[in-house]
Structure 1
Amino acid sequence: MAALSKARRIVVKIGSALLVDPAAGGLKADWLVSLAEDVARMKARGQDVVLVSSGSIALGRGVLGLPPAELALEQSQAAAAVGQIRLARAYEEVLQPHGIITGQVLVTLEDSADRRRYLNSRATLEQLLSLGVVPIVNENDTVATDEIRYGDNDRLAAQVAVTVGADLLVLLSDIDGLYTASPALDPSATRFDRVEKITPEIEAMAGDAGTGLSKGGMKTKLMAAKTATGAGCEMIIALGSPLQPLNSIEEGAAHTLFAAEGDPQAARKRWIASMKPQGRILLDAGAAKALAQGKSLLPAGVTDVSGSFGRGEPVEICDASGAVLGHGLARYTGEEARAIKGHQSDEIEAILGYIGRAALIHRDDMALTI
């Protein structure tokens, strides 16, 4: 399977039903060990891997002896608090023998809806990946209420894939792909090997969740596919239950591949370029030249800052004559940017009173025309 073996950065979504034995309430240890072998193989060939994992509530429910019926919000949050620490430890224990460091990242919908928090999440995940860490991402169920919930990890995984600029998102599921109808109800249903575009007809074929532990059905998977592919990320739906499920896909196991629209970097730059600027930043000649060479924008190269903008908001980037070079997402507010303009990055702490980021606008957060 070329998509899996050639991807530079891969996000893998793992559902509760794959991880947790519903009868015993414990982890499926053999399966988790086999997944770690898959991850280690991918890391060994230089690929970045992010795991978006459900399971905290299912694990905590068993430890606390809570009933199998639908839980009240407070019960779910308590179960998540107890289960999350066990989930993180389980991933650490299976990946550590392969020399892989893990990091836990808990998020809510607000972390992607709010641009400042989105950039902070992105910077953290990027730093972890640059250090060789495998982030284990889950929704922060201990604090998330309905209005700040993703509600399912299919869509969370798609947002994480967009955030980290992944080439491929893999949804390990209880079904081996998208079918023309539910195979359980229609024996004549056929599976799609590849979906080039998610049309209304394709969406009409989706069903709802089919397992007790799963909150996502094919509808949420198609929503995830639209998010991921629109950002230049391919997506695979495949059966997750076999041991070494990712290796099974590589060896030709049945799956459905959703084609990406372009590539992640181009999609992100289109998104940045489409925003209305909230401010304007003028550069000296040296900074303009550095940007043309693919460098980030440092405060030292900034000669003027205008406008009232917050962290993560879009600004125009201009040369000394005022000609627009492109757009970018600022890592400082307008007031902070005016305070540090013309200064070296190691002077930021003394000026602002806290340790800030070295770049005013990171190169990954710019859409330039030069």
Structure 2
Amino acid sequence: RLAARVGGMVGADLLVLLSDIDGLYTSNPKVSAAAEHLPLVTGGITPEIEAMAGDETSAYAKGGMVTKLAAAKIALGAGCAMAIADGRVLNPLQALVDGARATLFTSTETRHSAREAWLLGALSGDGALILDDGAARAVQAGKSLLPAGVVSVEGAFERGDTVRISRADGTDIGRGIAAYGSEDAARIAGKRSADIATILDESRGPNLIHADDLALF
């Protein structure tokens, strides 16, 4: 499940779980001759799909299929497809590329929408960027947040932390990943992006938060 969370966080297209089984079956293939291999699962992890993993007391489930489906839920929710493939073969990833039997789970989420959902659900701590009306309108129109539109910086945060984005009246309008820590953000707030390098003696780009790292309510 950790791999699934990391895959979602980094915007991966595909997560591959290598196992001692070549995918998902309708039931435990070791005990049922009627078990059928599923090469493709679409539409998410439904109760019917979960039932195929067996109850948690079965050897099939204890072997990890329940956990694999839990990972699939996380990955698919983040817009990342997932495959279960046999890791016992030589060069298993190349074998998968060459058409080895596996189960592919496809996601109906886009990475962008999934990333927005992750940002909006992320813990933002005490950090916040307070925007003037012009900047608020700009980010709500899909623009990046520039320092010039920030009237104040609240709380302490580091570069890469998730922060609240609020209007001057206190209304939260979203969340974003800060490109500058709170100390640097406070120094460049209200200033032109062209002046960042002069003020900080360095520049990590013109945006306090890039549009791709913004999620709005």
TM-score (norm. length: structure 2):
0.72
| Alpha-carbon distance, 1:238 to partner | 1.5
**1:177 and 1:238 in contact (8 A); partners too:** yes
- Cα separation, 1, equivalents of 2:13 and 2:151: 37
CA drift at 1:262: 1.1
How many Å apart are 1:225 and its aligned residue?
Answer: 0.6
1:193 counterpart residue number: 39
CA distance in 2, matches of 1:333, 1:268: 21
* Counterpart secondary structure, 2:25: coil
Aligned to 2:108: 261
| Secondary structure, aligned partner of 1:297 | coil
Structure 2 residue aligned with 1:313 = 162
Q: Is the 8 A contact 2:4 2:74 kept in 1?
A: yes
Matched, 1:345 2:196: yes
TM-score by length of 1: 0.45
User: For 1:308-335, what per-residue CA distance to the aligned partner results, in whole angstroms no more than 9, with x for missing partners?
Assistant: 35331332255x9999775323344545
Alignment of 1:12-23 (within 5 A): none
**Pair 1:219 & 2:45 matched:** no
Q: Is the counterpart of residue 365 in structure 1 residue 216 in structure 2? A: no
Look up the match of 2:30. 184
The percentage of counterpart residues that share the same residue type is 44
Residue type of the partner of 1:178?
Answer: L
Report how far residue 345 of structure 1 moved.
2.9
Task: Give the secondary structure class of the aligned counterpart of 1:185.
Answer: coil
After TM superposition, give the deviation of residue 197 of structure 1 in Å.
2.3
Select the residue among 16, 37, 55 that pairs with 1:170: 16
Contact 1:167/1:263 (<8 A) preserved: no
Structure 1 residues 184, 265: CA separation in 2 closer, same or farther (over 3 Å shift)? same
Post-superposition offset of 1:267: 0.9
2:117 and 2:141 map into 1 onto residues whose CA distance is 18
| Counterpart residue identity of residue 362, structure 1 | H
* Number of equivalences: 201
The 2-side partners of 1:348 and 1:159 are apart by 37
The change in CA–CA distance for 1:293 and 1:315 in structure 2 (over 3 A counts) is closer
Which whole-Å CA distance do the structure 2 matches of 1:238 and 1:306 have between them?
A: 48
Shift of 1:162: 0.8
CA distance in 1, matches of 2:199, 2:21: 52
- Assess if the C-alpha contact under 8 Å between 1:231 and 1:261 holds in 2: no
1:265-344 → structure 2 map (5 Å cutoff):
265-274=112-121, 279-282=128-131, 292=141, 296-299=144-147, 301-308=148-155, 310-311=157-158, 312-316=161-165, 318=167, 326-341=174-189, 342=191, 344=195
CA gap 1:290/1:274 in 2 versus in 1, 3 angstroms:
closer
Structure 1 residues not aligned, in runs of 5+: 1-154, 210-216
Q: Secondary structure at the match of 1:305?
A: strand
Which residue pairs with 1:60 in the alignment? Answer: none
Secondary structure in structure 1 of the residue aligned to 2:75:
helix
Whole-angstrom CA distance in 1 between matches of 2:156 and 2:75: 28
Q: Aligned equivalents of 2:182 and 2:135: distance in 1?
A: 22
The equivalent of 2:57 in structure 1 is none
Please show how residues 194-209 of structure 1 align to structure 2 within 5 Å: 194-195=40-41, 196-206=43-53, 207-209=61-63
Q: Conserved in 2, the CA contact under 8 Å of 1:181 and 1:190?
A: yes
RMSD: 3.5
